[in-house]
Amino acid sequence: MAGAEDRALWERRYGDARSVWGWAPNRFVAEVLGPLRPGRALDLACGEGRNALWLAGLGWRATAVDFAENALVRGREQAADHDVAVDFVAADVLEYQPQAGAYDAVVIAYLHLPADQLGTVLRHAVPALAPGGTLVVVGHDVTNIAEGVGGPQDPDILYTPELVTSHLGGLHVTRAERVHRQTDRAPQPAIDTLVVAQAAGSAVSSAGPGTSASER
């Protein structure tokens, strides 16, 4: 369970700015899920819901979960403004239990927790995938502190491909790598971990090229 101080910090952050992360989807989420036929999608620790909103715009039935009410309010406003349907759920992802076998895509983007807590969220996410469903996990890599730019500076909450994949038993990992992401903060790119994995069964069909967009 997230601490009251963490929750209050995020409530203040989402309450102070118009948009914390912007509304474009994460470029790696778009790269992986853009070509897939729309189905049901789950965005865990969604923030204001930029990835879920983008998926809904493509025809996905999206559920977006976060503990910050201020973030969800903004997400709902954005959904109404753009006439897309997203089911925004107020819940702590450490306790949230997704419906088993229900989702063709699950997204976890920039959720930075101590390793044991991240493992809890990942172990909840894996059984939520439908047969052939795709899990996308992206976050700041531990090497970003010394070699990249931005992001948290605490190595205990940063990712490595090995850390993420260690909690994905039963899935077929198709990508587990460090990826570079150019920002407007510095000449050198930020360094992220990207892991993509698939549940056994029939995969979601391709429906065209992906979309690239800027992100944190």
Task: Show me where the domains of the chain are located.
Answer: 4-198
pLDDT of 14: 67
pLDDT of 102: 98
- Alpha-carbon 144 to chain mean position: 18
Whether the predicted pLDDT of 124 surpasses 80? yes
pLDDT of 3: 52
C-beta separation of 27 from 194 below 8 A: no
Distance between CA atoms of residues 164 and 102, nearest Å: 22
Whether the predicted pLDDT of 23 surpasses 80? no
pLDDT in tens, 169-215: 999 999 999 999 998 888 999 999 999 999 999 764 443 333 323 34
Grade residue 60 by pLDDT with cuts at 50, 70 and 90: very high
Within the chain, where are the H helices? Answer: 4-16, 27-33, 50-57, 69-81, 115-125, 144-147, 161-165
Domain spanning 4-198: which CATH class is it, in words? alpha beta
